[in-house]
A = this chain, B = another copy of it.
Amino acid sequence: MENEATASAVEEPGARSRRRGRRPADEVRGDVLRTVGELLLGEGIADLTFERVARLSGVSKTTLYKWWPSRGALALDGYFHAVQETLAFPDTGDIRADLLDQLHAFVHLMTGTPGGRILAELIGESQTDKDLATAYRTLYSSGRRALAGERLTRAQEQGQLRDDVDVQVVVDQLWGAVYHRLLIPDEPITDSFVEALVGNLLGGIATR
């Protein structure tokens, strides 16, 4: 793969084609993902094509297709990497504050950038496209679930969340609840919605 990546960078002159010599595949891959991420968060998914990514990253379409078998896979991998920092799970030792922080950042990404439309369209398409559904889970959602689960498990270890709680159910009741409003927009996604989600779930909604 390293040879191919190097060869293609020479074959197809592009933004990064001036760099000669063998570049490790991981570095080339990282360049592509950065290019895709910038494109997605800047413009959305409509104009994302293998052609354009090849031109912008200086990597051949053949190599791109070898690494990402479909446009959806390329988009999801690029998106995951682009939002990783924004959606990092802080650990200040206060799970309520950390969840609020992370969810506010997530909601801002969903409503204030093309991020929400990108995910909504990919989830939508994946209902009838099995390959895209698999790509969505392997390249995006299962990774996000794992990261959330790690932070929630640490909160259990720190004695802030009950031990008997299945942290993956919590993922559905916080981030899943936001996706519900994203995909079926009967009600708005606001900061006060985030606060209600966290407040309801941490403290419970039943009277005592």
Contact = CB atoms under 8 A, between A and B. Distances in A.
A185 B123 contact: no
Interface in A66-86: none
Copies in the complex: 2
B120 A127 contact: yes
Q: Which of A96, A137, A179 has the most CB of B within 10 A?
A: A179
Interface of A: 95-96, 120-121, 123-128, 133, 136-137, 141-142, 145, 159-162, 165-166, 168-170, 172-173, 175-181, 183-187, 193, 196-197, 200-207
B205 A202 contact: yes
A204 to B, nearest CB: 3
Given A180-B179, A203-B204, A207-B159, A169 B142 contact: no
B186 A181 contact: no
